[in-house]
Chain A
Amino acid sequence: MKRILLLLAIALTARAEKIVTLDALNDTAEIFDTKTKTATRIATKATPVASAFVGNELYILARDARVLQHIGGANIAVAQDPAFLGQSEGKLYVYSRSLGMLEEIAHDRVTRRASIPRFASDLEIAGTSAYLVYPREGRIRIVDLKTMGVRGEVTVGAVPVDLAVAGGGTALTARILAVADPSAKRVWLTEETQSTAKAVARGFLRGFLGLGLFGNRSSQFPTGVDRVWIRGKRWFAYDTSSGTLYSFTRKKSSVLARNVTLNDFYFTDEGVTLRSGTSVAQTTSDE
């Protein structure tokens, strides 16, 4: 599940992949069934910004109405400026940005609340950890969803904006985070429990991507990238300012599409597909 502004939330139901497109301006959602090729449009509460499936049940977060809508079910009131939605173990988590509140929702009601620092620019959940990105502070905070408390933080980059979980997280390895930093014009890779400085110091030299590590020192992302996605072995980054979609590895980046908006593409487990129907990246070609 990935929230993309205005617009895309993608999830798999038990039977078929469904793509949910949110129109935050006009307060509608379109649910497209990729198997039957049918679309259903529904009206939402004000400003739908994120959606998620729990099983077959669709939830839409309507920011300006301050509700989490269970489509066909209840409207769950949440705190002011609910900007991000994630899920873990069948529960949903809503982060309210201006207020600094993380709310856990189970069975269509808020079961727990916790005050978390305000003004995060992204929320990602992996396992029982939530990762929040703070651009002003150059910091990522990690929330333990079992205790609903901040259990650690990582300083990374100059202005980190977006995050994706890039692997790890086993009993032996720390989770690895890919962090888009448009100020540094890089995607940082860092372990969840250490600062970049520490990572570099102990030889975690994979610590950053985007520089021409094996060539000159100029960035492979000329105006920086501010969004990052991991899909299997494929890594994607996007520069909102220029509308450029990249595929990248630890060694290089390549442009997949130029002058595209976030509405123009979506991700599946196999890669990324342009709205025109062109599949521009698949998992079949391993790096």
Chain B
Amino acid sequence: MKRFALALLLALPAVAQTTRIASDFELAQMQKQLESSRSFEAQLSGRLNLGDVRTARNELSLARIEYQKALELSEKERRAARLDSHLTRYAVATSYAALARAKLHRPAEAMQLLEEALRYASDDPETWNLYASAMRILGKSQKAVSAARNAVAVVDPAKKLDLAIYQHALATSLLEAGDEREAETLLVTVTESLRSKEFERLQRDAAEQEAFEIYSSARGDVAAYVSLLNRAQLRLASLYESRNDLAKARKQYERVLAGRSDDVMALTALARLAPNDAERERLYADAFAANPFSLPLIREYRRYVREHPRTTGGTAMQRALQQLEHGEMRAARETLDALLATFPQNETLRKLRIEAESVTTIALPSATPTATELRVLLDAFERLTPEQRVTLDETGFTSEVQFDGEPGSTFESGTIEMIPFRFAQPAQFNGTFETRARLTYRILGVTRAGDRDALLVEPLRLEPNR
């Protein structure tokens, strides 16, 4: 029970989730573990882990189901322990019932249960630790700091791993409360301690067992050690990065990757800090392969694509994000629909899909349309009213275009203000033209040019560029 409880301390609030996200394989492993074990501890840790993983994948409905199951388990255990007059069990189950309620955003109930547990177990650092964890989830940073301090105060200092876990929890709470100085001291202490000879046996065991999984509710010393080292290094790295101490930050992120090469947070951070775009894109690709649904990664990558509009390729999720950022909503919808077919419960995908539908009212472009006007039309062409279609058919537009290919008299495709277009068939013009010219045209519809949406255009007149 002890190590189980310790590991639960590592759980982070959903809003501040910075942990790696388990792969589908890991989710399957967790489900398998649940099915093969019947004990309260195994069932509870399994549910909480699954809930946290689902939360990190932004599968919030599924996460709630797991947390609800964790709550039911702990309430059942609580009642049974009370009837059995087993007050230690009762206190433990009460703490976990509180944690589950915190994860379900029921703050008053959570706090009442936490206080109830303390009446029986104020001498137990894990009870304080769970208190701190629940308060962090509820956004009560000062209460979390206070509870975490009590955990550190009452833990037996000879229990080095326990001490490190509670110091890490205190550091986490302090960071959320804005006290970076003490947090840094604690994180340095924790990471150096975990990497020291004091933990030689666990380091050896972790290597022998090839343990790399990062749990929010780890069971056993090896799992707790591996998870704690990962989290503590990530937090320290993030702290250094926020202070612009990039060399130290990079070193810590690299240490995280040394323990687990597909840690999405470390990969994302190293991509952000990469010395060149090639390295950055490689790291982003690795990060998306590790977890395509990580919100921090997605935010980061979209910013990168905005700053580098010619970015292409990568995983399906990367392509969807590129399409969204390029305003290619139709293509984005197709890509996202394909992903949703595989991950129908994923709320990140659902949100992105809604974003891809975001154009609601359509206005016809002006006579010399802007890129935005053409983009809106491209994305929502099918929403034009019949009257708008008639008007569009009758309207001529003029734009500067960039044809694909070489100068000459025959052209088939190109871009207007970066928006791809093509003719129904190659068009031959009278005269010889540069690839950059002034085109008067009608818009017939939407087609594809390579892997991108494009306007289907009927040329009316071509003139040299002015």
A46 contacts across to B, CB distance below 8 A: 142-143, 146
B111 touches A6 (CB 8 A): yes
Q: Are B85 and A184 in contact (CB under 8 A)?
A: yes
In the complex, per-residue mask of B45-67: 1 if CB is within 8 Å of any chain A CB, else 0: 00000000000000000000000
Count: A-B pairs, CB below 8 Å: 85
Contact status A135-B120, CB under 8 Å: yes
Confirm or deny: B292 has a beta carbon within 8 angstroms of a beta carbon on chain A.
Answer: no
0 or 1 for each of A179-197: is its CB under 8 Å from B? (1 = yes)? 0001111000000000000
Taking CB atoms, residues of chain B closer than 8 Å to A182 are: 82, 85, 87, 90
Contact B150 A185 (CB under 8 A): no
A268 CB within 8 Å of chain B: no
Fill in one digit per residue for B78-89: 1 if any A CB lies within 8 Å of its CB, else 0. 110011011100
Complex interface bits, B82-112 against A, C-beta within 8 A gives 1, otherwise 0: 1101110010000000000000000110011
Q: Is B119 an interface residue (CB 8 A)?
A: yes
- Report B93 CB to chain A, min CB distance, Å: 10
Kindly report which residue of chain B lies nearest to residue A83, judged by CB atoms. Answer: B122
Closest Cβ–Cβ distance, residue A14 to chain B (whole Å): 32
Please classify the interface of chain B as helix (H, G, I), strand (E, B), loop, or mixed, using the class held by over half of its residues: helix
Tell me whether B180 is interfacial, beta carbon within 8 Å: no
In the assembled complex, the CB of B331 is this many whole angstroms from the nearest CB of chain A, namely 48
| Interface majority SS (helix, strand, loop, mixed), chain A | loop
Contact A241 B119 (CB under 8 A): no
B116 to chain A minimum Cβ distance, whole angstroms, is 6
Tell me, rounded to whole Å, the shortest Cβ–Cβ distance linking B90 to chain A. 7
Interface residue? A141 (CB, 8 A): no
B149 at the interface (CB under 8 A from A): yes
Nearest CB in chain A: distance from B95 CB, A: 14
Contact B115 A97 (CB under 8 A): no
- CB < 8 Å neighbour of A226 from B79, B119, B142, B153: B119
Q: How many residues of B contact A (CB 8 A)?
A: 29
Given A184-B85, A224-B82, A159 and B146 touching (CB < 8 A)? no
Cβ of A63 within 8 Å of any chain B Cβ, yes or no, is: yes
Q: Which residues of chain A are near B140, meaning CB under 8 Å?
A: 25
Given A119-B122, A121-B120, A183-B87, A241–B79 Cβ distance below 8 Å? yes
Chain A neighbourhood of B86, CB < 8 A: 183
B363 at the interface (CB under 8 A from A): no
Taking CB atoms, residues of chain A closer than 8 Å to B128 are 98
Q: Is the CB of A223 within 8 A of B143?
A: no
Q: A64-B142, A80-B149, A184-B85 are in contact. Are A121 and B112 (CB under 8 A)?
A: no
Contact with B along A146-160 (1 / 0, CB 8 A): 000000000000110
Q: Which residue of B lies closest to A24 (CB)?
A: B111
* B154 CB-CB contact with A under 8 Å: yes
Question: Once the chains bind, are A98 and B154 in contact (CB under 8 Å)?
Answer: yes
Distance (whole angstroms) from the CB of B113 to the closest CB of chain A = 9
Q: In the bound complex, how far is the Cα of B154 from the Cα of A100, in angstroms?
A: 11
Which of these, A47, A158, A241, contacts B82 with CB under 8 Å? A241
Contact partners of B78 in chain A: CB under 8 A: 241
24 contacts between A and B (CB under 8 A): A5-B116, A6-B108, A6-B111, A6-B112, A6-B115, A24-B111, A46-B142, A47-B143, A64-B146, A64-B147, A80-B149, A98-B150, A118-B122, A135-B120, A161-B120, A183-B85, A183-B86, A223-B82, A224-B82, A240-B116, A241-B78, A241-B82, A241-B90, A262-B112
- In the A-B complex, the 8 residue pairs with the smallest Cβ-Cβ separation, listed nearest first, are A64-B146, A119-B123, A183-B85, A241-B82, A5-B115, A121-B119, A159-B87, A98-B150
- Knowing that A47-B146, A159-B120, A241-B90 touch, tell me 8 more A-B residue pairs with CB under 8 angstroms: A47-B142, A64-B142, A81-B146, A99-B153, A159-B87, A183-B86, A184-B85, A223-B82
